[in-house]
Amino acid sequence: MKVIIYLIPFLTTLLYGQVSNLAKPLLPNQSLLYQDQTDTTSNGFDKKNYRTALRWSIANSVIPFVSAPLAQALLRSDKALLLSFYGLVIGPSGGHLYTQDWKRTLVGSGIRYAGGRILLRGLFACWEPGCTKYEEKASQRRGIVGLLIYEVGIGYTLYTLTKSVETFNTRYTKRNAIAVLPILIEKPYFLTGMREYMPALNLQIGF
Protein backbone atom coordinates (compact mmCIF):
# COMPACT_ATOMS: atom_id res chain seq x y z
CA MET A 1 0.00 0.00 0.00
CA LYS A 2 2.82 2.40 0.90
CA VAL A 3 4.61 1.69 -2.38
CA ILE A 4 1.46 2.49 -4.35
CA ILE A 5 1.03 5.76 -2.48
CA TYR A 6 4.59 6.81 -3.17
CA LEU A 7 4.32 5.94 -6.86
CA ILE A 8 1.24 8.11 -7.40
CA PRO A 9 3.19 11.39 -7.84
CA PHE A 10 5.63 9.80 -10.27
CA LEU A 11 2.88 8.22 -12.35
CA THR A 12 1.10 11.57 -12.38
CA THR A 13 4.26 13.28 -13.59
CA LEU A 14 4.87 10.73 -16.32
CA LEU A 15 1.26 10.90 -17.52
CA TYR A 16 1.37 14.68 -17.54
CA GLY A 17 4.52 14.61 -19.61
CA GLN A 18 2.91 12.36 -22.22
CA VAL A 19 -0.35 14.25 -22.69
CA SER A 20 0.84 17.83 -22.23
CA ASN A 21 2.60 19.95 -24.82
CA LEU A 22 2.43 23.26 -23.11
CA ALA A 23 5.79 24.41 -24.37
CA LYS A 24 5.12 27.19 -26.83
CA PRO A 25 7.83 29.01 -28.81
CA LEU A 26 8.18 32.61 -27.80
CA LEU A 27 7.17 35.05 -30.54
CA PRO A 28 9.50 37.97 -31.12
CA ASN A 29 8.23 41.43 -30.35
CA GLN A 30 6.13 42.57 -33.30
CA SER A 31 7.77 46.00 -33.34
CA LEU A 32 11.23 44.54 -33.94
CA LEU A 33 12.50 44.33 -37.50
CA TYR A 34 15.43 42.18 -36.40
CA GLN A 35 15.98 40.13 -33.30
CA ASP A 36 18.89 37.95 -32.31
CA GLN A 37 17.71 34.32 -32.31
CA THR A 38 20.79 32.58 -30.91
CA ASP A 39 20.23 29.95 -28.21
CA THR A 40 22.86 31.21 -25.81
CA THR A 41 22.53 34.34 -23.73
CA SER A 42 25.23 36.92 -23.26
CA ASN A 43 25.69 35.63 -19.73
CA GLY A 44 26.37 32.10 -20.94
CA PHE A 45 23.01 30.52 -20.01
CA ASP A 46 21.20 28.35 -22.52
CA LYS A 47 17.66 29.12 -23.55
CA LYS A 48 15.38 26.83 -21.53
CA ASN A 49 12.96 24.25 -22.92
CA TYR A 50 9.79 22.92 -21.27
CA ARG A 51 10.40 19.27 -22.12
CA THR A 52 13.91 19.43 -20.72
CA ALA A 53 12.54 21.04 -17.55
CA LEU A 54 10.02 18.22 -17.22
CA ARG A 55 12.77 15.64 -17.63
CA TRP A 56 14.71 17.37 -14.87
CA SER A 57 11.71 17.06 -12.57
CA ILE A 58 11.26 13.37 -13.34
CA ALA A 59 14.95 12.54 -13.05
CA ASN A 60 15.38 14.46 -9.78
CA SER A 61 12.37 12.62 -8.35
CA VAL A 62 12.89 9.05 -9.54
CA ILE A 63 16.67 8.58 -9.49
CA PRO A 64 17.30 9.63 -5.85
CA PHE A 65 14.24 7.71 -4.62
CA VAL A 66 15.21 4.50 -6.41
CA SER A 67 18.92 4.72 -5.54
CA ALA A 68 18.34 5.39 -1.83
CA PRO A 69 18.00 1.69 -0.79
CA LEU A 70 21.13 0.79 -2.77
CA ALA A 71 23.08 3.65 -1.22
CA GLN A 72 21.91 2.59 2.23
CA ALA A 73 23.10 -0.99 1.61
CA LEU A 74 26.49 0.15 0.33
CA LEU A 75 27.13 2.85 2.94
CA ARG A 76 25.38 1.01 5.78
CA SER A 77 24.03 4.29 7.03
CA ASP A 78 20.52 5.61 7.42
CA LYS A 79 21.73 8.96 6.15
CA ALA A 80 21.44 7.51 2.65
CA LEU A 81 17.68 7.72 3.11
CA LEU A 82 18.06 11.48 2.70
CA LEU A 83 18.12 10.69 -1.01
CA SER A 84 14.51 9.54 -0.68
CA PHE A 85 13.69 12.77 1.11
CA TYR A 86 15.24 14.76 -1.71
CA GLY A 87 13.47 12.72 -4.38
CA LEU A 88 10.06 13.06 -2.77
CA VAL A 89 10.22 16.66 -1.54
CA ILE A 90 12.67 18.66 -3.65
CA GLY A 91 13.05 16.42 -6.69
CA PRO A 92 9.73 17.27 -8.40
CA SER A 93 10.93 20.90 -8.49
CA GLY A 94 13.95 19.88 -10.56
CA GLY A 95 12.44 21.77 -13.50
CA HIS A 96 12.28 24.93 -11.41
CA LEU A 97 15.92 24.43 -10.41
CA TYR A 98 16.71 24.06 -14.11
CA THR A 99 15.05 27.41 -14.85
CA GLN A 100 16.58 29.01 -11.73
CA ASP A 101 13.14 29.73 -10.29
CA TRP A 102 14.08 29.58 -6.62
CA LYS A 103 10.78 30.98 -5.33
CA ARG A 104 8.62 28.30 -6.93
CA THR A 105 11.15 25.65 -5.92
CA LEU A 106 10.75 26.71 -2.28
CA VAL A 107 6.94 26.93 -2.44
CA GLY A 108 6.48 23.54 -4.12
CA SER A 109 8.98 21.81 -1.85
CA GLY A 110 7.37 23.38 1.23
CA ILE A 111 3.91 22.13 0.29
CA ARG A 112 5.20 18.62 -0.37
CA TYR A 113 7.18 18.60 2.86
CA ALA A 114 4.13 19.58 4.90
CA GLY A 115 1.95 17.01 3.13
CA GLY A 116 4.60 14.31 3.49
CA ARG A 117 4.93 14.86 7.23
CA ILE A 118 1.18 14.63 7.74
CA LEU A 119 1.04 11.54 5.52
CA LEU A 120 3.80 9.73 7.41
CA ARG A 121 2.28 10.58 10.77
CA GLY A 122 -1.00 9.14 9.56
CA LEU A 123 0.64 5.97 8.24
CA PHE A 124 2.69 5.23 11.34
CA ALA A 125 0.26 6.43 14.02
CA CYS A 126 -1.28 2.97 14.27
CA TRP A 127 1.62 0.97 12.91
CA GLU A 128 1.82 -1.02 16.13
CA PRO A 129 -1.23 -3.03 17.26
CA GLY A 130 -3.38 -1.62 20.04
CA CYS A 131 -5.13 1.31 18.33
CA THR A 132 -8.84 1.69 18.74
CA LYS A 133 -11.09 1.87 15.68
CA TYR A 134 -11.49 5.60 16.26
CA GLU A 135 -7.71 6.06 16.29
CA GLU A 136 -7.36 3.95 13.16
CA LYS A 137 -9.95 6.04 11.29
CA ALA A 138 -8.34 9.26 12.51
CA SER A 139 -4.98 7.97 11.32
CA GLN A 140 -6.43 7.10 7.91
CA ARG A 141 -8.03 10.54 7.56
CA ARG A 142 -4.75 12.18 8.48
CA GLY A 143 -2.96 10.11 5.87
CA ILE A 144 -5.49 11.03 3.18
CA VAL A 145 -5.19 14.73 4.03
CA GLY A 146 -1.40 14.49 3.90
CA LEU A 147 -1.53 12.72 0.55
CA LEU A 148 -3.86 15.37 -0.88
CA ILE A 149 -1.57 18.16 0.31
CA TYR A 150 1.41 16.35 -1.20
CA GLU A 151 -0.43 16.02 -4.50
CA VAL A 152 -1.24 19.74 -4.39
CA GLY A 153 2.51 20.34 -4.19
CA ILE A 154 3.04 18.12 -7.24
CA GLY A 155 0.23 19.87 -9.11
CA TYR A 156 1.59 23.30 -8.23
CA THR A 157 5.01 22.38 -9.60
CA LEU A 158 3.61 20.98 -12.84
CA TYR A 159 1.24 23.90 -13.32
CA THR A 160 3.92 26.56 -12.84
CA LEU A 161 6.70 24.80 -14.73
CA THR A 162 5.71 26.31 -18.07
CA LYS A 163 5.58 29.76 -16.51
CA SER A 164 9.07 29.31 -15.11
CA VAL A 165 10.43 28.41 -18.54
CA GLU A 166 8.67 31.38 -20.15
CA THR A 167 9.92 33.75 -17.44
CA PHE A 168 13.51 32.64 -17.91
CA ASN A 169 13.27 32.91 -21.70
CA THR A 170 11.66 36.35 -21.42
CA ARG A 171 14.64 37.53 -19.43
CA TYR A 172 16.85 35.95 -22.09
CA THR A 173 14.98 37.69 -24.91
CA LYS A 174 15.25 41.09 -23.23
CA ARG A 175 18.96 40.64 -22.69
CA ASN A 176 19.58 39.67 -26.31
CA ALA A 177 17.05 41.70 -28.28
CA ILE A 178 18.52 43.90 -30.99
CA ALA A 179 15.95 46.13 -32.71
CA VAL A 180 16.34 48.38 -35.73
CA LEU A 181 13.29 50.65 -36.14
CA PRO A 182 12.64 53.13 -38.96
CA ILE A 183 11.79 56.58 -37.62
CA LEU A 184 11.45 60.17 -38.80
CA ILE A 185 13.50 62.90 -37.17
CA GLU A 186 13.11 66.63 -37.57
CA LYS A 187 15.90 68.56 -39.23
CA PRO A 188 17.33 71.43 -37.19
CA TYR A 189 15.07 74.46 -37.79
CA PHE A 190 17.90 76.99 -37.78
CA LEU A 191 19.54 75.22 -40.77
CA THR A 192 16.53 75.02 -43.09
CA GLY A 193 14.22 77.72 -41.79
CA MET A 194 11.27 75.36 -42.11
CA ARG A 195 9.91 72.23 -40.51
CA GLU A 196 11.28 69.24 -42.43
CA TYR A 197 11.74 65.59 -41.56
CA MET A 198 14.28 63.03 -42.67
CA PRO A 199 14.28 59.22 -42.38
CA ALA A 200 16.57 57.56 -39.87
CA LEU A 201 17.12 54.27 -38.07
CA ASN A 202 16.75 53.76 -34.34
CA LEU A 203 18.98 51.02 -32.89
CA GLN A 204 17.79 49.42 -29.62
CA ILE A 205 19.88 46.87 -27.75
CA GLY A 206 18.50 45.06 -24.72
CA PHE A 207 20.65 44.10 -21.72
User: Would you state the pLDDT for residue 113?
Assistant: 96
Please say if the pLDDT value at position 62 is more than 80. yes
**What pTM did the predictor assign?**
0.62
Residue pLDDT, tens place only, 134-181: 888 889 999 999 999 999 999 999 999 999 999 998 887 665 556 666
Residue pLDDT, tens place only, 3-14: 333 444 444 444
Full 3-state SS string of the chain = CHHHHHHHHHHHHHHHHHHCCCCCCCCCCCCCCCCCCCCECCCCCECCCHHHHHHHHHHHHHHHHHHHHHHHHHHCCHHHHHHHHHHHHHHHHHHHHHCCCHHHHHHHHHHHHHHHHHHHHHHHCCCCCCCCHHHHHHHHHHHHHHHHHHHHHHHHHHHHHHHHHHHHHHHHHHHHCEEEEEEEEECCHHHHCCCCEEEEEEEEECC
User: Would you state the pLDDT for residue 126?
Assistant: 81
Please indicate whether residue 23 or residue 77 has the higher confidence score (pLDDT). Answer: 77
Q: What is the mean pLDDT of residues 23-39?
A: 37
Instruction: Of 46-50, 68-72, 194-198, give the lowest mean pLDDT range.
Output: 194-198
Q: How sure is the predictor about 133, in pLDDT bands with cuts at 50, 70 and 90?
A: confident
User: Would you state the pLDDT for residue 177?
Assistant: 55
Q: How sure is the predictor about 27, in pLDDT bands with cuts at 50, 70 and 90?
A: very low
Please indicate whether residue 75 or residue 2 has the higher confidence score (pLDDT). Answer: 75
User: Would you state the pLDDT for residue 70?
Assistant: 86
